[in-house]
Amino acid sequence: MNTNKHHIVIVGGGFGGLWAVRALKQEDVRITLVDKRNFHLFQPLLYQVATGGLSPADIASPIRGILSNQKNVSVLLDEMIGIDKEKQELKLKKSNLSYDSLIIATGSENFYFGNDDWMQNAPGLKSLEDALDIRNKIYKAFEQADCETDDEKRKRLMTFVIIGGGPTGVELAGALCEIAKITLRDNFSNIDPADAQIIVVDGGNEILQEFQPKLRTKAHDSLSKLGAKILTNTYAQSIDEQGVSVKEGVKTYRIDSANVIWAAGVKPSPVGKMLITDDSQLDKRHRVKVSSELTLPGYDNIYIIGDLAYSEDAKGNTLPGTAPVAMSQGRYTGKQIIAKLKKQSIKPYKYHDKGKMAVIGRATAICELGWANFSGFPAWLLWLFIHLMYLVEFDNRLIVFIQWGWNYMTRNRGARLITYSSDSKENQ
């Protein structure tokens, strides 16, 4: 590869980074994609790995395989630990890397609002490791409950508390209800899995607050019908291995549970703070404030996109940290870099909202498209179609389509395996 060509370094192989690379496929530039993992992860379906509906490889594709036909890009398995903006040099764990243009798309991580000690007992869902940890926790709980003779301990093992009533929390809760009432029915000798309690705890007045009121009500009713208990205006006060203490209004009480799952918040990756000189460049959620061209103020060759960036739409609304936004920003930055190289006019970034959706359970979802809001089976079918289309590799689409079809017909979850790493204490 010609080292004299304009060098574009992209940090992060998620939606934003990958779509930026693709936007540059036909350009006469040199691209280096840096990621600490060798695969692109389809995060919207992580909850299906966590609940045994899909296997890890169904939603993850090797980055080198995805980009094997793009000759102007090389992939570097490394992690950004610093930057010298004046020298235009990235500091990586294994080496340093110079750049002419830089795109930062390192995503987000779980955020416990200053209570990082909760992480040990309430795993979040941002990585494959998180999903497998939660899968182990769910299915191990039923196995242990089947062997438990103490009624109180058994109840604790069969109580699942999800902190957060956004799309991830609701999708997890719906899947757990189906696991308890359908998938594991008749699987155990000493327990009835349908006795499991699925509890969603959310601090807002309603779950799925980003949706229209009618859709929120529909989702609430659908999730309740599946068997979930929904606690709104309720906040987690403390979490330990025995359960969670919550505050509902002026009332504080305890929920005993061996299975607390965190879905209440995320924060930008630590890379954001490497890019700024003071905290005034961050918003209240620690995202980097970017220009109308998605650049770091003062550095028109450094782009920040996806969950890491604070940007607004034409109406002044903050753009959410979703896959469609990241993909749109990735395409935009790739095209803008080329426009600058060709001395063409630079257009401010504009996001055209395509809508949002959330699946509640089997054949039930809600969909808000702006021009139409609907729910139930049609929304579920559209959710399936869109998520299949967003999967990067054709092989993944085919496998997931077959797996979903089989699960729908048999009401089974074939990936409900309890696994341990080779050095796990539980495996010794």
Catalytic residues: 171
Show the CA angle centred on residue 315, arms to residues 320 and 206, nearest 5°.
50
With tokens 């991830």, the residue in question is: 168
Which amino acid makes up residue 115? N
Q: Is 9 exposed, middle or buried (0-12, 13-18, 19+ CB in 10 A)?
A: buried
Sign, CA torsion 165/171/176/182 = positive
Residue 25 neighbours by CB under 8 Å, 6+ apart: 70, 72
Please tell me the distance from the alpha carbon of residue 52 to that of residue 32, in angstroms, as a whole number. 35
